[in-house]
A and B are shown apart, each in its own frame.
Chain A
Amino acid sequence: MTHPATRRSDDHENGVGLPRLLWVPAALAFLLIALPVVGLVLRADWLRMPALLLSASALDALRLSLQTAAISTALCVVLGGPLAVVLARGRVRGLRVLRSVVLLPLVLPPVVGGLALLFLLGRTGLVGRGLDVVFGITIPYTTAAVVLAQTFVALPFLVVTLEGALRTAGRRYEAVAATLGAAPWLAFRRVTVPLVLPGLASGAVLAFARCLGEFGATIAFAGSLQGTTRTLPLLVYLERETDVDAAVALSLLLVVVAVVVIAVARPRPAEGLR
């Protein structure tokens, strides 16, 4: 056993009854999520499905979506992981304010997030103007812009999940490691990281799923061009105008990709969050 799972066994097996009353709202909540997807499945034109999904524009969008979501998730882990550690373990004033800033992308309408990125990194933006004049670099309309938009909206999912895992894990093991002579970096690497690995995995899966579905910030900041910036959600929105069947088919493709990712990564949020 590489991580402490001592509390897992006393959930259901010990026979502490689940109040019956909870089943009703629980079932309603499940149906609220599941039934619209059923509606999508019923509306799908299964005969045209293969042709719709194998079109050049659909394949380009799928490839772009998977690539950008993977890169963005990696960025979330590399940048958001340390941020979560600082938020959970740091002893600095103002951490509370810092945390509420980190949560902003959850509150902001994604389109506004995209505009904010545009005002910062666009050609006339605070930083973007310098990049344009000095290096001749333009960020909007590039795949990099898609990745930035996705990372912006997905970061809080990773940070919040991981911070929760870190707080739950507590500092006891690290303290013990320290008394045994481990330097902070060694204790972090050998104790903290393995301890919160499941939490990190859940956070990464959440972030990946959010990246996959990202629309508003991408269209506002990166634009929409086949093969460069037009991810699956952008293509769905566009196809909806002329070919609802294509939009439904692509949406189902998104659903399948998300389900596969979640199944493969098998996050155990119970371990990470409690």
Chain B
Amino acid sequence: MKVRAIATAAAALLLAGCGGGSASEPEQRTLTVFAAASLTEVFTALEPRFEQAHPGVDVVFGFAGSSTLAQQIVNGAPADLFASANTETMQTVVDAGLAEGEPTVFATNVLQIVTPAGNPAGITSFADLARPDLQVVVCAPQVPCGSAVERIEQASGVALSPVSEEPDVKSVLAKVATGNADAGLAYATDVHAAGDDVQGIAFPEAEQAVNDYPIAVIADAQAGDPARAFQELVTGAEGRAALSAAGFGGS
């Protein structure tokens, strides 16, 4: 908090000093958006659209794992807007009193079955993944994509015996894309981004573990107005279209 206060004060001084010279020029401001890595494509695509509509605002992104970003915000990183890949990490920011109002859920993500291109093992359902002849890789329960797998197993009564519990979705996709696993479980957006080497199969049990993506303006943000405007863009029609094109579900 202290670091943040000092940074804010320093920035305010700096802005005041710059603003004094030419009143006619539009004020140049930076909007810092921290967003979950899975939002990289969508948010980057929205950037030119936003900067056109808001001259004088320069959007700067910090993309990383949600928990990393939340830790940085809680420790004073100068973010104006935070979009998280799950509600738990957003809650740590809310609990620290750093969110302006209630976070808004703007997208959802669900797990898909992912197979090598052409689905050589002929998998059609979640229950198929329990076939003993298959090598299946999933995320470890410690990470969000793995806890989602656990919830689906419990809800469906289908117990998997994976050959590997990977530390992140990308490792799951790498094993499947190289043909070293018959199937895996990964987020729909990651399957979408992985391209033609893999094939995604939606399955109904995935609804048991829907991942909500909340967004919130940071309390006392330096660029509060642009942050609110960017949030509107993301939650508006244009944002929804970009999100759905990337494989996200609606809120």
Contacts and interface: CB of A to CB of B under 8 A. Distances in A.
- Tell me whether A and B are bound partners: yes
Interface of A: 115, 118-119, 122-124, 138, 140-141, 219-220, 222-226, 229-230, 234, 237-239, 241-243
Interface stretch (B26-34, B52-60, B157-165, B213-221): B157-165
B15 interface: no
A140 B166 contact: no
B106 to A, nearest CB: 24
Given A118-B178, A124-B178, A225 B164 contact: yes
Interface stretch (B38-46, B134-142, B241-249): B134-142
A225 B142 contact: no
Contacts of A241: 67, 142-143, 167
A238 B135 CA distance: 21
A234 B179 CA distance: 22
A124 B177 CA distance: 11
B167 A225 contact: no
Given A115-B174, A226-B165, 15 more contacts: A115-B178, A118-B178, A122-B180, A141-B135, A141-B164, A223-B137, A223-B163, A223-B165, A224-B165, A224-B167, A225-B162, A237-B167, A241-B67, A241-B142, A242-B143
4 tightest Cβ-Cβ pairs between the two chains A and B: A223-B164, A124-B179, A141-B163, A122-B180
A52 B179 CA distance: 36
A229 B103 CA distance: 40
Nearest to A139: B180
Contacts of B208: none
16 contacts: A118-B178, A122-B178, A122-B179, A123-B180, A124-B180, A138-B135, A140-B180, A219-B166, A220-B174, A223-B137, A223-B163, A224-B140, A225-B162, A234-B167, A238-B143, A239-B142
B175 interface: yes
B171 interface: yes
A141 B164 CA distance: 7
Interface residues of B, number: 18
Q: Which DSSP category, helix, strand, loop or mixed, fits chain A's interface?
A: loop
Contact of A225 (B67, B163, B178, B180): B163
A43 B143 CA distance: 22
Nearest to A142: B163
A163 to B, nearest CB: 34
Nearest to A114: B174
Nearest to B144: A241
Contacts of A237: 167
Given A241-B67, A241-B143, A219 B135 contact: no
A226 B166 CA distance: 11
A246 to B, nearest CB: 10
Given A238-B143, A239-B142, A219 B180 contact: no
A122 B181 CA distance: 10
A27 B164 CA distance: 43
A136 to B, nearest CB: 12
A224 B142 contact: no
Contacts of A138: 135
Contacts of A140: 163, 175, 180
A223 B166 contact: yes
Nearest to A221: B180
A118 B165 contact: no
Contacts of A220: 171, 174
B142 A242 contact: yes
B178 A119 contact: yes
B142 A238 contact: yes
Nearest to A122: B180
